């Protein structure tokens, strides 16, 4: 195999296996190359990852060492993408009753959802995360995108129990949007005891739904290490019940009567 071919193959493998430790002997055996050549190839790949702002290779020394691809997006790439999102969502035609924005089309674009997941993975790349948790339904594509870059499984909290999930744990919570008592359930087999959890959702007002998920996860002795929301909106009538979170965009100055809305960057860069 030519070196150029080996570089392409190794780059593709690393990007398909983010956060996964890969030993040098694996590359050496797979591509029939000397370890010194593999080390040089990895150095070239690492330089290009950083040049393009799409991550870096982390080296782990020792007998069980190797390299792992950390898919962190550069600040420049992240800012450009968030600006693009703000521009798309600032259209007054997207404004819905209750101060919501129509985002279903954006959440249906694989390339856009993929970048949203990459940004959350970038924000949380240095935290201990065993599983990404979201609530059905619109947060599901974002959760899968983030989990793909974090290389962890996804668990979906549901509103109603499903017979296919076996025994479940349920909690009641107060929805921040409707201010009604609602229920969410999770299968007892979904999360291992004392798992480190990243909560991901598409939209947050007062944070009642996310707070409900936190209460539910307490039943599993889970540790919530990160919370990511695509869009946050201020609710003047209710106090926010979630404080430690990361948002990509922030919806402000919503005027449903006059069809005006202001969309800004969230606290992602804070």
Report the range of poorest mean pLDDT among 78-82, 93-97, 149-153, 181-185. Answer: 93-97
| Whether the Cβ atoms of residue 150 and residue 124 lie closer than 8 Å to each other | yes
For the chain, what is the mean pLDDT?
A: 92
**Share above pLDDT 90 across residues of the chain, in percent, rounded to a whole number:** 75
pLDDT higher than 80, residue 239:
no
What are the structural domains, with CATH classification, of the chain?
3-70 (1.10.10.10), 75-265 (3.40.50.2020)
Mean pLDDT of 63-67: 84
Contacts of 201 (CB under 8 A, 6+ apart): 134, 135, 139, 142, 209, 210, 228, 229, 230
Verdict on whether the full-model pTM lies above 0.85: yes
Reported as a pLDDT band with limits 50, 70 and 90, residue 236 is low
| Whether the Cβ atoms of residue 73 and residue 116 lie closer than 8 Å to each other | no
> What's residue 260's pLDDT?
85
> What's residue 163's pLDDT?
78
Mean pLDDT of 43-47: 98
pLDDT higher than 80, residue 142:
yes
Q: Cα separation of 65 and 250, whole Å?
A: 42
Q: Cα separation of 172 and 159, whole Å?
A: 10
pLDDT higher than 80, residue 235:
no
Mean pLDDT of 36-57: 97
Q: Cα separation of 74 and 93, whole Å?
A: 32
> What's residue 99's pLDDT?
67
Report the range of poorest mean pLDDT among 42-46, 206-210, 245-249, 264-268. Answer: 206-210
> What's residue 54's pLDDT?
97
């Amino acid at each position: 195999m030519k070196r150029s071919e080996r570089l392409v193959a190794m780059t593709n493998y690393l990007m398909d296996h983010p956060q996964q430790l890969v030993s040098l002997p694996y590359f050496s055996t797979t591509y029939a190359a000397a370890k010194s050549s593999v080390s040089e190839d990895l150095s070239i790949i690492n330089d290009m990852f950083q040049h393009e702002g799409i991550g870096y290779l982390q080296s782990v020394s020792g007998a069980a060492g190797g390299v792992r691809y950390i898919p962190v997006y550069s600040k420049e790439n992240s800012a450009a993408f968030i600006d693009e999102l703000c521009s798309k969502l600032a259209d007054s035609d997207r404004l819905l009753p209750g101060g919501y924005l129509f985002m279903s089309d954006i959440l249906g674009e694989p390339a856009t959802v993929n970048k949203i997941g990459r940004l959350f993975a970038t924000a949380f790349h240095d935290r201990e995360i065993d599983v990404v948790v979201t609530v059905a339904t619109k947060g599901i594509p974002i959760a899968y995108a983030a989990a793909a870059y974090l290389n962890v499984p996804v668990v979906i909290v549901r509103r109603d129990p499903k017979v296919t999930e076996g025994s479940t744990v349920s909690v009641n919570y107060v929805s921040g949007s409707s201010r009604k008592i609602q229920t969410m359930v999770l299968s007892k087999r979904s999360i291992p005891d004392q798992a480190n959890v990243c909560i991901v959702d598409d939209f947050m007002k007062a944070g009642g739904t996310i707070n409900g998920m936190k209460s539910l996860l307490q039943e599993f002795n889970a540790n919530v290490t990160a919370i990511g929301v695509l869009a946050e909106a201020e609710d003047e009538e209710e106090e926010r019940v979630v404080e430690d979170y990361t948002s990509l965009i922030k919806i402000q100055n919503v005027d449903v009567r006059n069809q005006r809305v202001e969309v800004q960057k969230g606290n992602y860069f804070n």
